[in-house]
Structure formats: structure tokens, C-alpha cells
Amino acid sequence: MSWNTIAYAVSERVATITLNRPDRMNAINDDLPRELAEAVRRADDDDDVHAIILQGAGRAFCAGYDLKEYAEGDRQNVYTQSMPWDPMIDYRLMKANTDAFSTLWRCYKPTIAKVHGFAVAGGSDIALCCDLIVMADDARIGYPPTRVWGCPSTGMWVHRLGAQQAKRMLFTGDLIDGPEAVRIGLALESVPVDQLDERVTALAARMSGVPKNQLMMQKLMINQAIDAQGMQNTQMVATLFDGITRHSPEGLWFKELSERVGFKEAVRKRDSGEPLGPGSN
């Protein structure tokens, strides 16, 4: 199979899926969610694979949705419709992405996110859908679009962190480094970046010696507890709210700002702590 946004390899009973848009810091475009889901399903169906590593090529794990394409660009109004907007058109589009990322959680084999550089916004959605997260000490993870123009559609923050820490992350949109992610229970481990490959490889190798049926049973048993918390409902509400954030007065303001001054300056404004929304410069 040929991929536009993904690289795929299998070695020693471990599948490695690489987000492969390094020139855009592996930012999410139209192809990436579908290809990621296809790669996960391929690994899940492969009897030779016992564990899955997800990583990013180049300088980052994933820098989120390609804002240059979707905020500064998006002339076809894919993610911001013209008014009046149809919430169900947006929901169907974003739910497809939510479901694609969630294949990492739903598949029967252990998944490990190997995070270096940045896992931000939609990139954190992807990382949080993995069973385990191992970060470089200097990596950064978070969801800055909760400040304006976004709600994490996979809804995993509360299920992984509990209400208070999830609120702390999503009320501020702050990014945290590897050691802090471990402290609050978001990441399993944080290591120096030059030890990240070795540590994740060793962890996957340890799992790969376990029979697939054993791994499957443990994952299903643990995941059902999260399902019982209402994860499906969380994702439905989060995905719907994500569309609302992009069509609210503040969301339309951010889209117009991105088109007018470019997404880098719009993101600087978003993350600065200055007041946001209509009436702001």
C-alpha cells in the first residue's frame, strides 16, 4: 500500500507507524486521519504484530491540524462553513477524524505514542488515543485551541487525567513538558530525547513477547472501564462542541484574523494571554 502521510514498517513483532509530513511538522491534513486508521487496522490484522509504536518524522510528533491550510486557507469552507452553518455536516466530518484517531485506542494491540518535539492540538488528540505515552523531556504537549477555535474531539483528557487536571489544561490551553506530563499522569515516562528511541523500543519489545490473546484481554478489560465512564458520549459532545467553537463569533473572528495576518501571527495572538474575540486587533 502506498501512503501520502504515513510510513509503515514491521520488525521483531512490532509495527511502527510514522506520521510522515515532516515539512509541516506532521500537521493533520485531509489524508492523514484516514491513512492513520488504515495503518492501525493493518497492524491489528497482522498476526506477526504484537505491539504498535506511533511516532512522527522530523522535528515533531504532530503539530495539530494544518492551520495554514484550514484557518488561513480553507477557501472551500471545509472547517468553517458560510452562515447559516449546518452542525451535522461539521459533526460528520470531524467525527470521522475522531473515529480514525480512536482506532489506536480501539484496536486489540497495545499502542505507544513516542512523543518528541510537539504533540499539540489535534496532535495531542492522536497521542492521547494511544494506550501509553512516552515523551522526551523537552517535548511539549497540550491543546492551545481551547483558547479559541477548538475543543479536543477525542475527549480523552478527562478520562486520562480526571476532572481537575483536565480543566487546568483545557481552561488555559497551556503546553507542558515531559516531566510535568508524567507528574500529572498524562505520560508514562519522560526521558532525554537521545534516549527516547531506545526506551520505547525496549518497552514495545517487552510487550511483544506476550501472546496476542493475553494483550487483547488486558486491553479490553481496562478499556471497558473507560467506556463505562461514558467515553462515547464525551466524544460526541466534544466533537459537536469543536464545530461550534469554529462557528462562534470568536471562532469566526479567529478565522478572519488568520486570513488577514497569517496563521503564525493569529496563533501568537491566541496564546499571548490577551483578550480574544471581536473587538480585538
Output the pLDDT for position 77: 61
CA–CA separation, 193 and 188 (whole Å): 15
- What is the mean pLDDT of the segment spanning 121-126? 98
Q: Where are the domains of the chain?
A: 6-271
Q: Which residues pair with 56 in a beta bridge?
A: 19
Query: Which 3 state secondary structure label does DSSP give 244?
Result: helix
pLDDT digits (tens, 9 = 90+) for 203-253: 999 999 999 999 999 999 999 999 999 999 999 999 999 999 999 999 999
Per-residue pLDDT of 23-47, as tens digits, reads 999 999 999 999 999 999 999 999 9
More confident site: 280 or 119: 119
Q: Give CA torsion, residues 158, 16, 194, 168, to 10 deg.
A: -10
| Matching CATH number, 6-271, of 3.40.718.10, 3.40.225.10, 3.90.226.10, 3.40.1390.30 | 3.90.226.10
Task: For the full predicted model, state whether its pTM sits above 0.75.
Answer: yes
Q: Are 136 and 187 in contact (CB under 8 A)?
A: no
- Contacts for 12 with CB less than 8 Å, ≥ 6 apart: 205, 208
- Which helix (H) or strand (E) is 123 found in, with range? helix 122-128
Cβ atoms of 141 and 135 closer than 8 Å: yes
The angle that helices 87-106 and 32-45 make with each other, rounded to 10 degrees, is 30
pLDDT tens for each residue of 66-113: 877 665 666 566 678 888 999 999 999 999 999 999 999 999 999 999
